[in-house]
Structure 1
Amino acid sequence: MKLPADNPNVFVRFLLSFWAPTTRSLRAWALASVVVNAGIAVTGAGVRVTGSGLGCPTWPRCTPDSFVPVAHPEVSPLNMAVEFGNRLLTFLVLAVGAACVVAVLRMAQRRRSLVLLSWLQPAGIVVQALWGGLVVNTMLNPFTVGMHFVFSVGLIAACWLLYARAGEGDGPVRRIVHRDIRRLGNVLLASVFALVVAGVVVSGTGPHSGDERASRFDLDIEAVARLHADVAYLVVGLTFALLFALHVTNAPRPARRAALALLGVELLQGVIGYTQYFLAVPAALVLLHVLGSTLVWIAALRVVTSLRARDPEAAPAHHSPTEAAAIA
């Protein structure tokens, strides 16, 4: 199928964005994938805080006899609609992931690194869908629910790496900050991941299980909440140290801006966390806190990818037969 590149039609331009992609349009699709994967993670938390975790009590069907919501004596129609709506969002996430794959494969110069990163998206979404069935079949066991969110965190990382790598070459990593600063950035990213996992444990221990029949972790909520706060202090401290190091070494502006943005998101997330704690964990603030956690993760990924660059691979030298014979 050949489409005119200068066609002003919006739909045609939309098709061209992945069928005849440019680096800019590929990065736009990758960024869209970051957004939809973060969005479905937040709406998944919305399912939990509204008590709709078993709104569709079976999987892959919504009810034992239907793939779509139908009246069920044991389930509220509202809860069923919330849960089924979240299931439908999976198709949107899958469609964006498929567009990324098509765009990568249709690039004028196919790059193996981008092909691998793009295929992680539909593969990961299928795993997520299957794991969602396990969540339902285990009656919202807190471990399976927590891993559902952790998988989303991994998918967001893959999408962000696709976005970052699409704007770079495939040459060796080129240092743009001191080696120890890059190490500090990697330690910071690992700490943010630990913070996310600690938050998952808190969610699995506290209220808002998704359904009154769901089990909880048999842990002291005060203890796990303090652990979560301690890890948060560590993350903020590391972020401040990184920001200071970038400033005193006059690092490139994008790296300094990324670190400053991460610190700002962390501080806002801390305000939300303490507010929800002192207000007895209202559902609306829990949802906002989950959104904040995804933004902290994305901001941390942005920081790490801003600390290095890659140049295009050097083109192999092609010699004429005469030159080759002379070299030999």
Structure 2
Amino acid sequence: MVNAGIAVTGAAVRLTGSGLGCPTWPRCTPDSFVPAPHDAHSPVNMAIEFGNRLLTFLVLAVAIGCFLAAVRLARPGSDQGRRVLVGLATLQPLGVVAQALWGGVVVRSVLNPVTVSVHFLLSVGMIAAAFALFARSGEGDAPPHRLVHRDIRTLGFFLTAAVFVLIIVGVVVTGTGPHSGDQRASRFDFDIESVVRLHTDVVWIVVGLTFALLFALHVTDSPGRARRGALVLLGVELGQGVIGYVQYFLAVPALMVGLHVLGATLVWIATLRVVFLMRSRGTLDAPAAEQALPHAANA
């Protein structure tokens, strides 16, 4: 939640023109770590940018909490599988530090669209790692076994890759269009209509793959939770599509762009959820021997 939240608030910083509200890093101004009067920046822009920087500490606190909880679960004498959680949890504080350092690169590059895009993609990666930690912590430690046909699970992996490509194309569209975050920021030198068409094409590919996955899960009588997860994903994608078309026909207002960024994170999370729902590692309270039994779908 906090990883998705700071990705959205980071977009809000850009959409309000506050990308360089704090013109230096790690200080907010050349002489102060906190907002101070500055001729080139309004107090509102400085407060918005500095507030987003402060949110980093909240994300870091949650990340450290996840790490400590994972260490406790993997204390000496615990099951080997629980130690996997430590590795996943370690990615969170490390990712926050990497994001903070990269944020300095973004500021020092005067919001170069490449650095801004990488900043968002780092958040996408952290969301994936956080969801894997969440899913893994609530299941057993048996070897993973499929709950659906092998080809359907492969389709789920293709869908995940397509959604990730969609996100990449989306950040290219963002880096080409308006709302750069500051008047001094540069933009990608692409034709905006061309990249928007490309983005739309990838959207339809993702929707088509999602519909195919949902259809395949239903005709093979796959577990209900997997079917419901795919249905939720399709619903989130359709909602995101409505937002996308509305923002296009309204000439890309900042509010709709912010909602579109939120929608992108929800689509990513819903996609990851479907993939994890198509396999199982047993339950936490099941005996190890029972966890290791293959699922009926594999038999």
Q: Which residue of 2 aligns with 1:28?
A: none
* Partner residue in 1 for 2:17: 51
Whichever of the two has the greater Rg, that structure is: 1
Superposed displacement of residue 314, structure 1: 4.0
Q: Does 1:81 align with 2:47?
A: yes
From 195, 198, 222, give the equivalent of 1:227: 198
Q: What displacement does 1:158 show?
A: 0.4
Q: Which one-letter code corresponds to 2:115 in the other structure? A: T
Q: TM-score, normalised by structure 2?
A: 0.92
Distance in 1 between residues matched to 2:130 and 2:177, nearest whole Å: 30
Counterpart in the other structure of 2:135: 164
Deviation at 1:90, TM superposition (A): 0.2
2:86 to 100, 110, 115: 115
1:95 alignment partner in structure 2: 61
The answer for the alignment partner of 1:40 in structure 2 is 6
Q: Which residue of 2 aligns with 1:250?
A: 221
Give the paired residue count. Answer: 281
Q: Which residue of 2 aligns with 1:182?
A: 153
Question: Residue by residue, what CA displacement relative to the aligned partner does 1:101-154 show, whole Å, maximum 9, x if unpaired?
Answer: 111111263622100000000000100000000000000000000000000000
- 1:174-220 superposed Cα distances (whole Å, 9 cap, x missing partner): 11100000000000000000000000000000000000000000000
TM-score under structure 1 length normalisation: 0.84
2:36 alignment partner, SS class: coil
- Structure 1: unaligned runs, 5 residues or longer: 1-34, 316-328
> Larger deviation: 189-198 or 167-176?
167-176
Residues 1:72 and 2:43 are matched in the alignment: no
Given the alignment, which residue of 142, 148, 155 partners 2:113? 142
Consecutive unaligned residues of structure 2, counting only runs of 5 or more, are: 290-299
What is the identity, as a one-letter code, of the residue corresponding to 1:283? A
Find the counterpart in structure 2 of residue 323 from structure 1: none
Amino acid paired to 1:175: R
> Quick one: distance in 2 between partners of 1:231 and 1:153?
18
Residue identity in the other structure for 1:71? P
> Which of the residues 181, 197, 206 maps onto 1:210?
181
Amino acid paired to 1:42: V
CA root-mean-square deviation: 1.1
In structure 1, the residue matched to 2:254 is 283
Shift of 1:171: 2.3
Counterparts of 1:50 and 1:304, CA distance in 2: 35
Counting aligned pairs with the same residue, the percent is 70
Q: Secondary structure at the match of 2:145?
A: strand
**1:81 corresponds to which letter in structure 2?**
A
